[in-house]
Amino acid sequence: MGSSRKLEDLTDEVAANAKRVVEVLDGVGIDLLIYCTLRPLEEQARLYRQSRPWSKIKSKILDFQNRGYGYLGDVLEQVGPCSGPHVTNAAPGESWHNYAEAWDAVPLIGGKPAWSYFDARPEWDAYGECVRQVGMVWAGDWTNFREYPHAQKRPGGNPLRESDPDTIHEILVGNGLLTT
Ligand SMILES: [Zn+2]
């Protein structure tokens, strides 16, 4: 299962914010594509593993186990080897996409995604402004590992710092991302 792009997979509040951002931008003639909402733990694990050697993955798994998040370590182990570019600092459970509280979006110009900020600066800046206006955090404002497409509800970078392992487990089961 890959990531969802459905707004219904977000929490009600975040989905309403996403709709609002799309509407406001539409009102000024900017077409926005929301291409990622809820991201399964396995997908997060693949993205995390794809740019890292096994030694790094192994120490992350041990770190999860030591902190009471063995169930996240299991996901990281079970997806197996992956390869690809560095796209995330977040292991499974460490992204707000795993909690239905974040989305990724890109402005469309002539129907095509304008991935480069510098090629579509007015559109990206308008998007960032709308995200701020609905009270969310735009990762285009971050100075460390800036991500123009990413918007999230809470300022904290790591959801695991906000709750204990049992609460996190409960939320992930509630989202349907974990079965046990
Ligand atoms: Zn994102």
Distance in Å, CA 95 to ligand 1 centroid: 8
Residue tagged 């090629």 (tokens): 119
Which tens digit of pLDDT belongs to each residue from 33-67?
999 999 999 999 999 999 999 999 999 999 999 99
H helices present in the chain, as ranges? 12-27, 41-49, 54-66, 70-78, 121-133, 165-174
Distance in Å, CA 143 to ligand 1 centroid: 15
For residue 10, pLDDT over 70 is answered with yes
What is the 8-class DSSP label of residue 92?
T
Which tens digit of pLDDT belongs to each residue from 113-134?
999 999 999 999 999 999 999 9
For residue 13, pLDDT over 70 is answered with yes
For residue 1, pLDDT over 70 is answered with no
